[in-house]
Amino acid sequence: MSARAAVYVLWLRALKRFWRSKSQIIGSIAMPLFFLGFLGLGLNRMAVPGIAGEGNYLRFLVPGIIGMSLLFSSTFAGLSVLWDREFGFLKEIMVAPVSRLAIVLGRTAGGLTTGLIQGLLLLGVSVILGFRIPGAGAFFLAFLFMILIASTFNGLGLVLASLMKDMQGFGLVMNFVIFPIFFLSGAMYPVKNLPAGIRVLSYADPLTYGVDGLRSALLDVSAFGVGLDLAVMAGGACLMLVLGAVLFEKSESV
């Protein structure tokens, strides 16, 4: 089997698993919708500095919730390596006559695609709730940031999966890695409102720049500037994917 065919097969497998699991599709947008419904609509009249017009907080929240959705879905896509290791599928593909780089690329492509589908579904629901996209240019810039966010945290998922041996540490990953990344990103509140010490941690969080980039694209409001957001996210995506590929290359299939 050629490397291109291996990448395609793994990508198609991820899409088929996602499409056949209706509960996963519903569950992937359920929690973000709860945030949008209870926080966005409940605090709809709350003013957010720098954002004019009615429904300030809903407009502020939408990019952050899209970032949250991409964070969870992409990281879990990388962590699915643990499931494949648990049930023996990983061992089967490891002994196939293809490079591990092709396996990494196939998994990354599959996780990236499913994460983008979930992000676009959430953006569509947000439009139904009253959110407005400024134009085609804003949409494509936001889509670029969605790709970078999904790539970054897909790589993070691969890194974590390569370092873990079984599913026992999954809860630790949730509590001590994913949730801090989300809450430090400013997805639900401006980063500048955080205490100075915590704000430093936020500046080291790649999702902070991904969410800020989405706000820059969709709201024309940015704390760091779209250029810096793009540079940090592009660098973070490359770093995490390379690191994930290297660690996966060295990991054991069983």
103 in Cβ contact with 10 (< 8 Å): yes
pTM: 0.87
Each residue's pLDDT tens digit, 31-66: 777 777 777 666 666 656 555 444 477 788 889 999
- Which regions in the chain score pLDDT beneath 70? 1-3, 23-24, 27-28, 40-55, 86-97, 166-167, 170-171, 251-254
For tokens 């957010």, the residue is 48
Within 8 A by CB and 6+ apart from 86, the residues are: 166, 167
The number of C-alpha atoms within 13 Å of 11 and in the hemisphere containing its C-beta is: 13
The number of C-alpha atoms within 13 Å of 131 and in the hemisphere containing its C-beta is: 25
Phi-psi region of 49 (alpha: psi -120 to 50; beta: other; left: phi over 0): beta
Distance between start and end Cα atoms, the chain: 22
According to DSSP, residue 33 is labeled H
pLDDT at site 46: 61
- How far is 29 from 27, CA to CA, in rounded Å? 5
pLDDT at site 55: 47
pLDDT at site 89: 66
Within 8 A by CB and 6+ apart from 98, the residues are: 1, 2, 3, 6
Nearest-5° Cα angle at 76, 75 to 79: 95
pLDDT at site 210: 95
Chain length of the chain? 254
pLDDT at site 83: 73
**Amino acid letter, residue 124:** G
Each residue's pLDDT tens digit, 136-149: 999 999 999 999 99
What is the DSSP secondary-structure string of 48-72?
BTTB-SSSHHHHHHHHHHHHHHHHH
Largest Cα–Cα distance of the chain, in whole Å? 59
How many structural domains are present in the chain?
A: 1
Q: Print burial letters for 140-179: b (CB count within 10 Å at least 16), e (below 16).
A: ebbbbbbbbbbbbbbbbbbbbbbebeeeeeeeebeeeebe
Helix (H) or strand (E) holding 121: helix 100-128
| CA quadruple 130, 136, 138, 143: dihedral sign | positive
111 in Cβ contact with 74 (< 8 Å): yes
List the domain range (segments joined by +) for residue 231: 3-250
- How far is 123 from 83, CA to CA, in rounded Å? 29
Give the residue from 156, 165, 37 showing the smallest Cα distance to 90: 165
- How far is 16 from 114, CA to CA, in rounded Å? 10
